[in-house]
Structure formats: structure tokens, C-alpha cells
Amino acid sequence: MKRVTGLVLTGLIAVCVLSACKPEAGEEKDGKLKVMASFYTMGDFAQKAGGDEVEVTTMVPAGTEPHDWEPEAQDIAALEEADVFIYNGAKMEHWVKDVLNTLENKELIVVEAAEDIELLGSHGHQGEEGVYDPHVWLDPRNAEKQMETIGEALEKAAPDKQEYFRENCSKYKTEFAQLDQEFEEQLEPLPGKDIIVAHEAFGYLCRAYGLNQIGIEGLSPDSEPDPARMEEIIEFARENKVKTIFFEELTSPKVANTIAKETGADTAVLNPLEGLTEEEIEEGKDYFSVMRENLQALVKALQ
């Protein structure tokens, strides 16, 4: 008797587990593409390219620094049911390879948004051979390319909506061009060219507009600085009369404050757009508005 109950129970459990593993295939009722994006900017681009035809979920939660983030079981489960997965690449998301290997979702279209972009090497003090700067989206022209790549992937996932996606992308193409122009026009005449930032995320932005970044940290934030590096930065700030030390909203401002105090400079936020806080999203901020805030901060600092 016991054995029979055991068998029945095992059978029941097996059925439950198997059915849980196999979600209903096919499109959702509302026909929207299910898009998973690794962090905020990827999600923002996907939403802009996909418009009403996509349902975008950003994996790294609002207000979280994406460099150290790792997916939870729920995120993997969501990926199993998604149609498209968008990530930046260039080692921004170190977990992507492992996660993709474990997925059983054969239909999933995977997009590496930075694929077609020429990567900058890291020349930070922690730079190693073969380490690239992943923050490509901080140059509006790269961002435009990224959205194009994302748009192409969406077309692949839903060929019948090709025209709609293309329309969206070309609409934003002009916006990216306008942003690029604003940066160029406003930064070009300014005398200052050196910026001190929390971590060297602004390589692409600097290259595009002829600026020079000095990072307190290397490519990833929140590691302990050594005093020799701090001395270097303080000396640099004094020599070049840097008026503003930039820090990021998602990391600790302690080191920036210490250096600013030493040199009599101000501190200000320069957002690398790795993530927005919940409040910022509620206020309706997006890639373009944050980049314009960055521009204003830069203009103020470099005057």
C-alpha cells in the first residue's frame, strides 16, 4: 500500500515538475514580443525600437549597479519564456555566457548590442591586455548603432512588424544625431578638456568629443583606491585646475568627496547610464534626458 502511494506521489511530482518546465509555447495573447534586456539602457533602447509591439523586462533592477549583478532563478525562468534577449556585451554582463549555456529555450533570439561597434581598450591603471571598455552607449553615435542592431533582432523575431520597427529606429536616428550635435556644439568651444570621474566609463564619450578622462577607479566602480592613485589624481586636478570631481549615482561618493575636499573642487553627478533609480524612471527620465543632464554637468565643469 505504502509503495503504491509512493509511486502515485512520485508520478504526480514528476508531472508537476515537467509541466512547470514546459511553458506554453507560442505567442502571448496580446501578440507582443517578450523582450528581456540585461540592464537599463538596453531596456530603454529595446522599448524605443519596439514601441507598442514589445513587452520589455529589464533584468538588473532599478537603482542597482550592474557590474556586480547576477541573475536570480526568476530571471533565468523568464528567459526561458522570452522571445528576445538583449545584452550589451564587451564583458559588461559577465554572466551571459553561463546563463545562455544553461537555457533550454531554442527559439530565443540573442542580441549582443555592442557587436558591431569598435571597442576601445582600457587604458586605466588597472588595465590588462584584452580588457575592453564596455560603456559604448555613452557615445550617441554608438547608441544609435546599438538601437539599430536591436531593431534588426526584433524584426527577426516578428518579421510581420518589420516596417513598424524600422520606422521607430529611423525616428530615433534623428534624435541621436541631434544629441550628438548638441554635445559637439556645446563642448567644442569650452577651454577645459579634462574630467575626473569615479570610474573610467566615459572613454567613448571622451573620444567622440575630444575630452580626456581620469578615472579614480578603473573600469569597474567601488573598489578601494590606493593612496598613490589618489595622490596622482589630486596632483592632476591641481595642475589642470579641474573644478569638478564627478561621481555616479549608483556608487559611493566617498572617494570623490575626499578628493574634491583636498583640491577645493565641487562634486557633481555624471551618469554612465548603467541604471536609473526608481524615482528617476518615475520622473520619466530616459537615455536622452540623462545624456542632456550629463552635457549640462560637463558644460558647467569645463567652462
Partner 1 sequence: MSVLQYAFMQKAFIVGILLAIITPCIGMTIVLKRMSMIGDALAHSSLAGVAFGLLLGINPVLGATAFCIFAALGIEGIRKKTPRYSEMAIAIVMSAGIGLAGVLSGFVKNSANFNSFLFGSIVAISDLELWMVILVSVLVLLVFLLLYKELFYVGFDERAARISGVSVKTVNFVFTLLTALTVSIASRTVGTLIVSSMLVVPVACGMQIGKSYRNTLILSIILAVLFTVAGLTVSYYGKLKPGGTIVLTGVLVFVIIVVFKSIRIKYKKHKAVQ
Maximum Cα–Cα distance across the chain: 88
Among 255, 268, 270, 290, binds partner 1 (CB under 8 A): 255
Choice from 225, 285, 286, 292 touching partner 1 (CB under 8 A): 225
Cα–Cα distance, 65 to 237 (Å, whole number):
27
Q: Which residues contact residue 186 at a Cβ distance below 8 angstroms, ignoring those fewer than 6 apart? A: 295, 299
Q: What are residue 37's DSSP bridge partners?
A: 58, 86
Q: How many CA atoms lie within 13 A of 259 on its CB side?
A: 32
Confirm or reject binding of residue 237 to partner 1 (CB under 8 A): no
Among 99, 147, 158, 234, binds partner 1 (CB under 8 A): 234
Site for partner 1 contains 128 (CB under 8 A): no
Give yes or no for residue 123 binding partner 1 (CB under 8 A).
no
According to the binding rule CB under 8 A, does residue 293 interact with partner 1?
A: no
From the list 153, 144, 161, the residue with the least C-alpha distance to 86 is 153
Judged by CB under 8 A, the residue of 23, 254, 266, 303 near partner 1 is: 254
Q: Any contact of residue 127 with partner 1 (CB under 8 A)?
A: no
**Got the DSSP string for 174-192?**
HHHHHHHHHHHHHHTT-S-
Q: Rule CB under 8 A: is residue 64 a binding residue for partner 1?
A: yes
Minimum CB separation of residue 37 from partner 1 in Å reads 18
Binding of partner 1 by 257 (CB under 8 A): yes
The contact set with partner 1 (CB under 8 A) reads 61-65, 222, 224-231, 234, 248-255, 257-259, 261-262, 277-278
